[in-house]
Structure 1
C-alpha cells in the first residue's frame, strides 16, 4: 500500500495528485455553498458566485488596486536587487521579463503549486466559500477571525509530515509552521 509520507512533498507525482484533488474541491465549493444556503434556509439576493466574491462589478479595481499595492511592497526588494545587479535596474528588469526563465517556471510542478494552484484554490475555498457560510452564523467580525483557524487546521498535515520525516525538532516544526 502507498504510504503518502514516503514521498517528499515536492515529488512531482505527489504534487500532481494533490493539485488535482484541491482543484476538484475548489470546483465543488460553489455547489457546497449553494447546498448549505438551501439547508440553512439562507436567502440572499446575489448569486452563489457573487456571494463568493466572483463578479464582474468592481473587477477592474479589485484586480488593479491589489496589484499596485503588491508592486509597492516589492519596490524595496527590487531596488535592492537592482543595486546588486552589475547591469543596474535595466539588467534586473531584463532578467525579470526573460521569457526563458518564465517558461522554466511554468514547467516546474513546485512553482505551479506554490505560485498558481495554492493561492488560487485557497482564496476561493477559504475566503470565497467559507466566509459566506460563516458570516450568517457568527457575524462578519467573528467570521474574519474564525476563517483563518480553519485554514490553519487544514494545513496541519505539514506539521505531521515534517514530524514523520524527522527533519527537525518539534519546537522547530511548530515555530516554522506558526
Structure 2
C-alpha cells in the first residue's frame, strides 16, 4: 500500500543570483552579448540598405535568435542559490503578471508627458496644414512599409529592451551596484548604435564628417533613452515598462528642431517643450514608485 505524502510536493524553478559576479565579469558578459546582438545584423545574406524589406526581415530573424538565446547565456553567468536573494529567471528578466497594467499605463503616461511639446506641435501642424511638419510626421511615424513598421514599433523595442535591459541590468547591478549599473548599462545600448555610421556613409552617401556627426548625436540620444529605460526597469521590475515606452518614443521620433525654430509660434512651442520636460522630471520618481508595481 502506497503511503501518501504528508506535505504537498511542489516543483520549484531554480533560483538564480549574480552575487559572486565580479565587476569585470559583468562588463565582459554584457560586452559579449552586445557584440553578438550587433554582429547578428551583419550576418544577413543581403547587401542592401538597412531599410530594404529583405534586409529588415533577415535582421529581425537574426536578432530574434540572439534574443531567444540570451536568457540561456545569462544562466552561464548566474549562480544557483536557495537564498532569499535569489529569484526565478523570468522574474530576473522582468517577465511577470503582478502589476502588469500599472507597468503599462504609468510609464506610458510618463513618456507622453515628456513628449507633450512634440504632441501639441504636431497637432498644431495638422490644424494649420504645415507641410514640413506633416512630411516629418509621415516619414518617421506612418511608414507604409510593413517591415519598417514591424521593426520600429514592435520588434526593435522588444528585442532591444530584452537584451540590453532585462539581460544586462541584472548582471551589472549585481556586480557594481544598482545605480552605477543603471548608468553603465545605457553605454552598451548607445555604442550598439554606432554601426549606423556604415548606413549613413555607404548607403546614404553622406560625407564622413557628416556621418560621424549624425552617429555621435544618435549615440547621445540613444544613451539618454537607455538611461531612462534602465531606470524604468529597475524601479518597476517589469520588462513591459521600458518596452511600451520604447515603442512610443520610436513612434514619436526626435523633435523637428528646424521647424520649431522657424515657426511663428516658436516661443509658445519652446515653452510647451520645457513644460513637458519639467512635468516629466517632477513625475519621474512618483510614477515609478516600486510600491505601485507590487515590488
1:47 correspondence with 2:88:
yes
**What is the CA–CA distance in structure 1 between the aligned matches of 2:207 and 2:181, rounded to whole Å?**
33
Q: Is the CA contact (8 Å cut-off) linking 1:5 and 1:161 kept in structure 2?
A: no
Q: 1:79: Cα distance to partner?
A: 3.2
Task: Rate the CA distance shift 1:22–1:154 in 2: closer, same or farther, 3 A.
Answer: same
- Aligned ranges for residues 88-127 of structure 1 at < 5 Å? 108-127=146-165
Query: Number of residues paired by the alignment?
Result: 162
**What is the CA–CA distance in structure 2 between the aligned matches of 1:5 and 1:161, rounded to whole Å?**
14
1:57 correspondence with 2:95:
no
Alpha-carbon displacement from aligned partner over 1:73-93 (angstroms, at most 9, x marks no partner) = 3443333333343599xxxxx
Q: 1:62: Cα distance to partner?
A: 1.3
Q: Is the CA contact (8 Å cut-off) linking 2:46 and 2:54 kept in structure 1?
A: no
Q: Is the CA contact (8 Å cut-off) linking 1:30 and 1:49 kept in structure 2?
A: no
| Partner residue, 2:186 | 148
Q: Please give the TM-score of this superposition, normalised by the length of structure 1.
A: 0.75
SS of residue in 1 equivalent to 2:168: helix
Task: Rate the CA distance shift 1:127–1:21 in 2: closer, same or farther, 3 A.
Answer: same
Alpha-carbon displacement from aligned partner over 1:25-63 (angstroms, at most 9, x marks no partner) = 111222111222049x89742211211222222322211
Q: Please give the TM-score of this superposition, normalised by the length of structure 2.
A: 0.48
| Partner residue, 1:31 | 72
SS of residue in 1 equivalent to 2:86: coil
Q: Which has the larger radius of gyration?
A: 2
1:66 correspondence with 2:107:
yes
SS of residue in 2 equivalent to 1:6: coil
Q: 1:124: Cα distance to partner?
A: 0.8
Q: Is the CA contact (8 Å cut-off) linking 2:44 and 2:62 kept in structure 1?
A: no
Moved more, 134-143 or 109-118: 134-143
**What is the CA–CA distance in structure 2 between the aligned matches of 1:127 and 1:139, rounded to whole Å?**
15
| Partner residue, 1:130 | 168
Q: 1:129: Cα distance to partner?
A: 0.2
1:169 correspondence with 2:207:
yes
Correspondent of 2:119 among 78, 88, 112: 78
Gaps of 5+ in 2: 1-42, 130-141, 217-295
Moved more, 8-17 or 47-56: 47-56
